[in-house]
Amino acid sequence: MENTNKANSQIVIFTHGIDIDGFGGAILGKLAFENPTIVFADNFDLDEKFVKTLQTNPQFEKIYIVDHCPSFDLCKKIQETPEITSKIMVFDHHKSRQGKEDQFDFVNLVVENAQGKQSGTSLFYDYLTRSGLLRPTKALKEFAKLTTLYDNWLWKEDEKDGKNAYRLNTFFQAVGREKFIGMVLKTLQRNSDKFEFNEEENQIIDNFIQSFNAKVNSYIKQMKIAEHNGLKFGFVEVEDLFKNDIPEVLRSLNNPLGISYVMMPIKNRESVSLRHIQDVDLSKIAEEFGGGGHKYAASFPKSSAKYQTLIKTFDDKNK
């Protein structure tokens, strides 16, 4: 399964540390390179981790950033540092970066191409296979497709692969990031012709779905309704695992709360997630609060001054 031409290279891969697209970057990196350094970054700490990592080890031969992109200011500094620009490549697909960070030569930003919507995983896979760093297989190509379908909210529209894309993400929810990466690597190594879970893994997914639904419904019952710029939204603090399924259930019930989107501060993390219920561009709303993302899935930092003002408004109304 793995590339037999691996070299003992100083490789560092910065990737999104909270979803299966970011994990895809880590999985592909582990298949393509011998013991690469993997740095998982949250939505708003990539710049800090990038600078700190390179200060600790400035001798990396190659620097890859997957499903993420440094800020405009950091990109500008990188562009002015030839010893870094000569060895860095960014693979990002977030619309909110268009017209900004994508002006830099080392930023490979593709939201959509002739093959359709892209993900960090699909872009990195295409690069690695085209460059001869990773041997392409049917299983790897399918894994990249399933990841892309889920990350772009296309899985429900795809009758052929949508269910498997959903189960792939559910598997992560059930076992966590590190086990997900390790077990997916084994899955890819078991069969190069098809990406599929074995009986034990499928049972893990089924059991998790059963216990998961009750928690989702409890969060929906706790949801407060508010309004911002003429759009109603639901507000509830949640654990990260539930941020995608809460809006999915609301959509499946034909939006009984009559809201346009859900705003969910994530427990034990410094980010707030936005997920769509109706057709609304959440990337623009996230930008108002100092964040970014996709049309139907975006986020911003809890430290946003505008968000803090919004929270104060909630508190004042509930006094």
In this structure, what CATH number is given to the domain that contains residue 229?
A: 3.10.310
Domain count, the chain: 2
Domain range holding 286? 216-317
What residues contact residue 181 under an 8 Å CB cut-off, 6+ apart? 23, 26, 27, 30
Same domain, 234 and 148: no
Instruction: From first to last of the 319 residues of the chain, give the pLDDT tens digit.
Output: 444 444 446 999 999 999 999 999 999 999 999 999 999 998 789 999 999 999 998 889 999 999 999 999 999 999 999 999 999 999 999 988 888 999 999 999 999 999 999 999 999 999 999 999 999 999 999 999 999 999 998 998 899 999 999 999 999 999 999 999 999 999 998 889 999 999 999 999 999 988 888 899 999 999 999 999 999 999 999 999 899 889 999 999 999 999 999 999 999 889 999 999 999 999 999 999 999 988 999 999 999 999 999 888 776 665 5
The phi and psi torsions of 76 (rounded to 5 degrees) equal -65, -40
Does residue 179 sit in the same domain as residue 308? no
Please indicate, yes or no, whether residues 55 and 117 belong to a single structural domain of this protein: yes
One domain for residues 223 and 141 = no
* Measured distance CA(24)–CA(30) in Å, rounded: 10
Helices then strands, each counted (H, E), the chain: 12, 13
Distance CA(294)–CA(30), nearest Å, equals 27
Q: Is residue 131 part of a domain?
A: yes
Question: Is residue 175 assigned to a domain?
Answer: yes
Beta strands 88-92; 107-109: pairing state = parallel
| 117 and 27 in a common domain | yes
Q: How much is the pTM?
A: 0.73
Question: 117 - beta bridge partners?
Answer: 112
Judge if 185 and 222 occupy the same domain: no
- Tokens representing 211 are 């216990």
Domain end marker among 162, 197, 232: 197
Same domain assignment for residues 135 and 66: yes
Dihedral sign, Cα of residue 16, residue 19, residue 20, residue 26:
positive
CA 52 – CA 14 distance, rounded (Å): 12
Same domain, 174 and 222: no
Amino acid at 201: E
**Quick check: is 102 in a domain?**
yes
